[in-house]
Amino acid sequence: MDPREFDRRVIDNIDHIVAAVTPAHLALPSPCTDWSLGDLLRHMVGHHRGFTAAALGEPTDPEVWDGATLGDSPAGTYREAAQGLRTALDTPELLSRRMEVFGFGMFSAGDALRMHAVDFLGHGWDVARSIGVDDRLDDDLCLHALELGSKWPDVPAIWGPKGPFRERVAVAADAPPYQRLMGFLGRDPSWSA
């Protein structure tokens, strides 16, 4: 799957989940260890903005990635950041370039967008579990993410306490694709707030 289309479809797949977030939800815990839902949304907004800047070939100041605020409408702030990235995905010759991913270095644009998409499938589920809405994600997107992730090296920079994903959680082989993906990304599919 074209990495731009994969990332766009992931953003579209989780939009309705984040749209349900209200300011009252921000103090809720999230499946992301040590992060409230507000912390998670700030991360998501910041990373949408950082990937947007990188896709447009703009400097990616750390403040763009880590300095997001949510304002009075967390869902609206997220929606604006997501739309910015959707637009940036149409940048001509994007896939022929390299992109800087804050904290991880330079990658081909395709690899960077794939990483973003897989990460955001996880975060869409995180938000759903935090606010108690339907956490099912698109089967095809989750299966594609599992296929991509199976090729990532098994190193501490990716998996475990120092990486973006925790140690994998065992999930039944016949579980729905979204639950298998969450286990693969180090999330317990039975987690609840």
In percent, the amount of the chain with pLDDT more than 90 equals 75
The pLDDT, as a whole number, for residue 122 is 96
Mean pLDDT within 35-63: 92
Burial class (CB in 10 A: 0-12, 13-18, 19+), 29: middle
pLDDT tier, 191 (very low <50, low <70, confident <90, very high otherwise) = very high
pLDDT at residue 52 in the model:
95
In a domain, 52, yes or no: yes
Residue 22 has pLDDT above 80, yes or no: yes
Does residue 73 fall inside a structural domain? yes
**48 within some domain:** yes
Contacts (Cβ under 8 Å, ≥6 apart) of 133:
17, 20
State the pLDDT at residue 155: 67
In angstroms, the CA 181 to CA 45 distance is: 22
Confidence of residue 33 (pLDDT cuts 50, 70, 90): confident
CATH number of the domain that 46 lies in? 1.20.120.450
Q: What pLDDT digit, counting tens, does each position of 91-126 carry? A: 989 999 999 888 888 899 999 999 999 999 999 999
Residue 59: the pLDDT is 77
Instruction: Give the model's pLDDT for residue 157.
Output: 67
- More confident: 175 or 157: 175
- The pLDDT confidence band at residue 133, using thresholds 50, 70 and 90, is very high
The radius of gyration of the chain from alpha carbons, rounded to an integer in Å, stands at 16
Asked if the structure places residue 57 within a domain, the reply is yes
29 within domain boundaries = yes
C-alpha distance from residue 5 to each of 10, 95, 107, 115, 174 (Å): 8, 12, 18, 13, 27
Query: What is the Cα–Cα distance from 95 to 89, expressed in whole angstroms?
Result: 9
Q: Average pLDDT for residues 132-142, to the nearest whole number?
A: 96
Q: What is the number of structural domains in the chain?
A: 1
Asked whether residue 160 is assigned to any structural domain, the reply reads no
Please give the pLDDT value at position 76: 96
Across 157-180, average pLDDT: 85
Q: Is residue 110 part of a domain?
A: yes
CA distance 51 to 40: 16
Task: Output the pTM of the full model.
Answer: 0.94
pLDDT band of residue 183 (cuts 50, 70, 90) is very high
**How does residue 89 score in pLDDT terms, banded at 50, 70 and 90?**
very high
Q: What is the pLDDT of residue 66?
A: 82
Any idea what DSSP says for residue 1?
Answer: -
Closest by CA position to 131, among listed 76, 191, 183 = 191
Residue 167 placed within a domain: no
What residues make up the domain containing 62? 3-135
